[in-house]
Chains A and B, each alone.
Chain A
Amino acid sequence: MGHLFQQDAYGYANALLLKYNFISSPILWFENPKYMLGLVVVVALWTSVGTSFLSFIAGLQGIDRSLYEAAAMDGVRNRWQELWYVTLPSMKPQLMFGAVMSITGSFGAGAIVTALCGMPSTGYAAHTIVNHLEDYGAIRYEMGYASAIATVLFMIMIGTNKLVQKLLAKVGE
């Protein structure tokens, strides 16, 4: 994985860009604050799709096929309406599961930053809440402050969770 954006000319991205003369010297992908965060997002996406994806596939199997015929009878005309009025409402529980997983996964992202950019990342440009938590909890041993961070993070997650729940209730209306 690390090879793709490796910092020297041996990384794939750099080799490609060098070869076609887009750049004249290799880019330090994970040291340059300009690229760090974006790349971490791409890699996080790369590794995170699996969980909700699998549950969505299984959820799609649970949809009653006859609903589609009934919907067609009732005047659903194109696939967007089918998606919005039949498919998505039928798999709301799985959507909620996927949402919760993504919320906890992305707010909890920290290890991936440490793995790619180091701890701390240059100029703290890719520092996440969890990195901050680890910084104060596991390096500086200021447990009180670290616990406060964890509590705030927990509150943010609950808030986001509630918000997504509200949004999901609107699906299919």
Chain B
Amino acid sequence: MIQVKLTRSKSGIRRSYFVDFGIYLFLFLFGLFMMLPMVYAVSNAFKPLEEIWFFPPRFLVNNPTMQNFRDLFMIMSDSWVPFSRYVFNTVWITAAGTAGHVVLASLCAYVLSKHKFPGKGLMFSMVVLSLMFSGAVTQIPNFMIIAKLGWVDTYSAIIVPAFASSLGLYLMKQFMDQMIPDAVLESARMDGASEWRIFWTIAMPMVKPAWLTLIIFSIQGLWGTGANHFIQSEELKTLNYALSQILAGGIARTGTGSAAAVLMMIVPIIVFIISQSKIIETMSASGMKE
């Protein structure tokens, strides 16, 4: 997924193959280490119950079975609220939250990065500083605001705050600083392009890797939305919440829980693969620089 571009032939810089090999070996081992939990989760989902508690424990599955998934669907089919409702809730929260977040973050970041106005520095440092509050501190004020807005027990309580998450704004601002040369915007302005047009047809395509990355972050974060103190009605609860209830069933549900975890992992992974391939596409396609 990560493309390594060797510039050996072009730049004429001396690179020893020995060090190359060492770096690749290190990266390979590191990647393997990072992958362990995922491999473990997937292989657990296919283990029959007696193999999950086998001694000595096995890392990989020996007799793969679909039993866990079958159990999962059986449990899900007689849930109080139809299971599809949980799926819809999560999909809706993820889609709406991500769309709003990416649009809002890009617009704000563009202005903060490429325009001059009084109080700009102050505003930006407020955004960065807001990243440093620990979540526990803002819980009570957050709840009060949502309650005053009358959003308790609605989708908006999760979706709208996600729009304004400062992480995306900060990410987009940093990328726009790096990737968009002022000269390009200048010349577009000379040619009479409107500010919106500059933003939409020039700035956004140039920072495509940034907003693709942001989409991954946002989907990953929102997809995992679990129990939430703003949501009380069962009809509004999310997939993650529904699946985590299965694990509450105790040791006998270990396998089913792993199957649920794998199902939860699939969507973010697909999003990640698609957007990563898109990022690499842009890299080979874009040649426009100063």
Do A and B assemble together? yes
> Known interface pairs A9-B55, A54-B216, A97-B174. Does A71 touch B136 (Cβ–Cβ under 8 Å)?
no
Question: Is A88 at the interface (CB under 8 A from chain B)?
Answer: no
Pair A54/B55 contact, Cβ less than 8 Å? no
Q: Provide a sorted-by-A list of 29 A–B residue pairs whose CB atoms are within 8 angstroms.
A: A3-B57, A4-B40, A10-B55, A15-B56, A46-B37, A51-B217, A55-B213, A58-B209, A59-B178, A61-B283, A62-B207, A72-B11, A79-B13, A79-B19, A93-B175, A94-B175, A97-B174, A100-B128, A101-B167, A104-B131, A107-B132, A108-B135, A133-B136, A150-B137, A153-B134, A158-B129, A158-B132, A161-B128, A161-B132
| Cβ contacts under 8 Å, A163 to chain B | none
- A61 and B283 CA atoms in complex are apart in Å by 6
Tell me the interface secondary structure of chain B in the complex: helix
Contacts of B148 in A (CB 8 A): none
Contacts of B34 in A (CB 8 A): 46, 49
Q: Is A120 an interface residue (CB 8 A)?
A: no
Q: Does B279 contact A (CB under 8 A)?
A: yes
Tell me how far the C-beta of B238 lies from the nearest C-beta in chain A, rounded to whole angstroms: 18
Known: A76-B13, A77-B14. 12 other contacts (CB 8 A): A3-B57, A54-B213, A58-B210, A59-B178, A62-B175, A64-B290, A68-B10, A68-B13, A77-B13, A100-B131, A154-B132, A158-B129
Instruction: Give Cα distance in the complex from A166 to B216, angstroms.
Output: 30
Q: Interface size of A by Cβ–Cβ distance < 8 Å?
A: 58
Q: Are B2 and A57 in contact (CB under 8 A)?
A: yes
B32 → chain A closest CB, angstroms: 12
Closest beta carbon of chain A to B85's beta carbon, Å? 28
Q: Say yes or no: A94-B174 contact (C-beta < 8 A), given A10-B55, A104-B131.
A: yes
Give every chain A residue within 8 A of B53 (Cβ-Cβ): 10
Instruction: Tell whether B212 is near chain A: CB-to-CB under 8 Å.
Output: yes
A96 within 8 A of B: yes
How far, in whole Å, are A49 and B35 apart by their CA atoms in the complex? 12
